[in-house]
Amino acid sequence: PNKVNQISSNSIHSKRDNRSRKHNKYGFQLKPYNPEHKPPGSKDLVFLELSPGFCEKNPRLGIQGTHGRQCNETSYGVDGCDLMCCGRGFTPQEITVVERCHCTF
């Protein structure tokens, strides 16, 4: 019984205080670039450098631009034409796919 008490008293959990933490374990606090946005949460992905634009063609970075992208005309999600084509408009194509079915009569 004495060893159990000794182990629990050495636990890091028993030595914590109840002060609220303002900084993370690295000693700094992340602030949003735009002050109107909420600060990032513990599960948010944070970029420390600006991301390249994917609307303009940039061969050096292997970015193709918007030309030739396939999008979903009816979607409001990330696969939707408004986002995929950077609001530049799009040309709808109707594609007919003929498949052999394995019907039995």
pLDDT of residue 5 exceeding 60, the answer is no
Chain-centroid distance of CA 81 in Å reads 19
C-alpha span between 31 and 17 (Å, rounded): 25
Both structure tokens of 82: 């408004």
What is the per-residue pLDDT across 41-50, written as a single tens digit (0 to 9) for each?
Answer: 888 887 778 8
What is the per-residue pLDDT across 74-88, written as a single tens digit (0 to 9) for each?
Answer: 999 889 999 999 999
Provide the residue ranges of all domains of the chain, joining segments of one domain with +.
Answer: 54-89
What is the helix (H) or strand (E) element at residue 82, kind and residue range? helix 81-84
pLDDT at site 59: 93
pLDDT at site 43: 86
**Top-confidence residue, 29 or 82:** 82
